[in-house]
Chain A
Amino acid sequence: MANTVLENATAAPVAPEEPHVLRSGETLPWIVVLVALVALPLVFTGGSQISTLNYLGVMAIFALSYNLLLGQTGLLSLGHATFFGLGGFAATHAVLGFAEAGVNFPLPLIPLIGGVVAFVLGIFGGWLASGRGGMPFAMITLGLSELVYSASNLFPSLYGSEEGVSMDRMDLGSSFGMDYGANSHIYVIVADCLVISAVVLKYFTTTPLGLLTNAVRDNAERVEFLGFSARRVRMWAFAVAAGFAGVAGSLAALNVEIMTVNELGAATSTLVLLMTYIGGTRTFFGPVLGAVVIGLMRIWLSDITPAWMMYFGLLFIFVVMAVPGGLAEMLQGGRRLITSGLLRAQLRPLAGVALAGAVGFAGTVILVELGYRAGLDASLGPAIRILGLPLDTTRPLSWGLGLVLVAGGGWALRQQLDALATRRHALAQPHREAVQ
């Protein structure tokens, strides 16, 4: 339904040169990322704001590494956080170890240690998990990560007890003119790591092995008949992804100076899956977009509503069902729409779709918020303000309003989408004749 909106966003022919899912000619996202990395710390200067930026950067690297599996190799891992966490613990122990030995190891190189440790572990884990793709892979990665997670309380000296393992990033002394006390110093490391990771991962897609990962995603069986082992391709993809997850985990450790076993648990794996998929797996920078959007939502939304996790889940299902290309592809569709010059002709049905969607969305929000107030937060009393409306969980009218909006919005959305499709069909007609 809605996916057709985006996929048919342009009737104009797509440029024939590299219509590959990971276009190499896309320079705009790189520019946006670089400009954002330079500009953001100038705008947000507070210590905690910088720490938030650091968190987003960490998640961006984490999601990029995850997409090497999900988008590029077609592998759904449910245990990617294992390597994020193990990398983070490796980094933490490295800092502690160097500090104790009195070695003045440059802090910016610590993520390298976490990355290498995670990479090596990733070779082993990847070999175990990679015999088959698809569902077995998903189950096995889940099992392996549960193994590490459940075994972690057997080794308190490694993972710490409940509170985790903490360290002081200033213990390694200064290097490169920074003492790493301020969050902005960590930002420099995170931003550099993000750029380096993106460049390396992008480079990876252009190599023979990178091409083979796509081939395994498309048709693993055929790869075998061409002489390659799909298992080895998966294993290397897994290991490289693990390595960069380890880098991200190390940076997370440096940012908050503490690692807990939660970092390698299922919740973190789920988070990176959500970020990556919602951002968009078919575009190189989609995961970065997802990490930023979901990361910010996680921070802001959790302040204003108890239902934020529910919204994540619903958004995720919506993307899976309606926009499998994620936010990035929505943006691209919008851009193509504007440059195609066909925007004006479709303005009316597009506005209709937007309006109907907004109504349905408002209804969903009302129902969800009422639900939380009636259940989880019942102690706060039945009266609640949602989207500016004074509602009450005990009044059927409030629930009715939500239901009507959802149903009406949904119905209207269908109509408007049909209208849009008809419009586009009509617009595409002369073009088709021209081609033939």
Chain B
Amino acid sequence: MTNAIEIEDLRKSFGPVEIIRGVNLELRRGERHALIGPNGAGKSTLFHLISGRLPATSGKIRLNGHEIQGKSPAEIAHAGLSRSFQITNIFPEMTVLENLRCAVLWKLGHRYSVLRPIRRLRDVNAECERLLVELGLQDRRAERADTLTYPEQRALELGLAVASGAGTLLLDEPMAGMSHTETAAALDLIKRVTEGKTLLMVEHDMGVIFEVADRISVLVYGEIIATGTPEEIRANPAVQEAYLGTATEEAA
């Protein structure tokens, strides 16, 4: 079985500065993989490269064995990859329901269609209903997205990512800025909606990571300095020095 994602010697420079400096990474199918690293390490940039938001300077990215480097975000989405954003990226003037409708249209095959009003599309309605319940947004369905609370917006952000039905999900700090209880609820949600999918997730909260992740990769200054199970990463002296040391201090 091919890996869900294979990245080979990926590089990205902004002007003279190389931000991603030769990343190699393999995501096994169905695994939950956490990407950690200090601020500014290039985690979000790596996500942008994989999802096609930014073109890479060089290197290869394969999704389920198909080369996707240089393709557009839409093409990569068609190939089975979906993502959420660190900075909430939803449709602010549309309602929650409309946001979700947009996200499920492609997989249900109603692509630039004008054949029937969207209200009449049973499959769309059923799927949106299911998502609303899953995300805990049933009561907010008719609210404009920009009037939601922050955790609700993050849930919607996550919802847009999972709604597309892609087999591989990239989540960029889905719980950033949430309180403890909110984090716990969000974690629960993420576990439920990503059941059976391949997950690559950026997260700063070590507790969350050790609870979710099958494997962890550590990105420091644009390079992956270690990949392994949570135990291996915890025991890795290089990681402790470069990252965990500071992180635990901060947490304390």
Contact = CB atoms under 8 A, between A and B. Distances in A.
Q: Do chains A and B touch in the complex (CB under 8 A)?
A: yes
Interface of A: 16-21, 203-204, 206-212, 214-215, 217-219, 221-229, 232-233, 236
B32 interface: no
A227 B164 contact: yes
A226 B103 contact: yes
Interface majority SS (helix, strand, loop, mixed), chain A: helix
B160 A222 contact: yes
Contact of B118 (A17, A19, A211, A219): A211
Among A217, A219, A223, chain B packs the most CB atoms within 10 A around the CB of A219
A214 B101 CA distance: 12
Nearest to A217: B93
Contact of A221 (B89, B113, B115): B89
A204 B106 CA distance: 18
B198 interface: no
A208 B91 contact: no
Contacts of A204: 114
A16 B121 contact: no
* Residue from the set A208, A218, A223 with the largest chain B CB neighbour count within 10 Å: A208
25 contacts: A16-B142, A206-B118, A207-B114, A207-B117, A208-B118, A208-B124, A209-B113, A209-B114, A210-B118, A214-B98, A215-B91, A217-B93, A218-B92, A219-B90, A222-B89, A222-B90, A225-B77, A225-B82, A226-B77, A226-B102, A226-B105, A227-B78, A227-B106, A229-B72, A229-B74
Nearest to B106: A227
A210 B117 CA distance: 9
B142 A226 contact: no
Contacts of A16: 142-143
Given A19-B142, A207-B113, A232-B112, A224 B74 contact: yes
A212 B112 contact: yes
Contact of A210 (B92, B114, B121): B114
Given A17-B142, A207-B113, A225-B73, 18 more contacts: A16-B142, A207-B116, A207-B117, A212-B112, A214-B98, A215-B102, A218-B93, A224-B72, A224-B73, A225-B51, A225-B74, A226-B103, A226-B105, A226-B164, A227-B107, A228-B74, A228-B105, A229-B72
B29 interface: no
B88 to A, nearest CB: 10
Contact of A208 (B89, B95, B113): B113
Contacts of A227: 74, 77-78, 106-107, 164
B144 A19 contact: yes
A17 B97 CA distance: 11
Contact of B112 (A19, A209, A221): A209
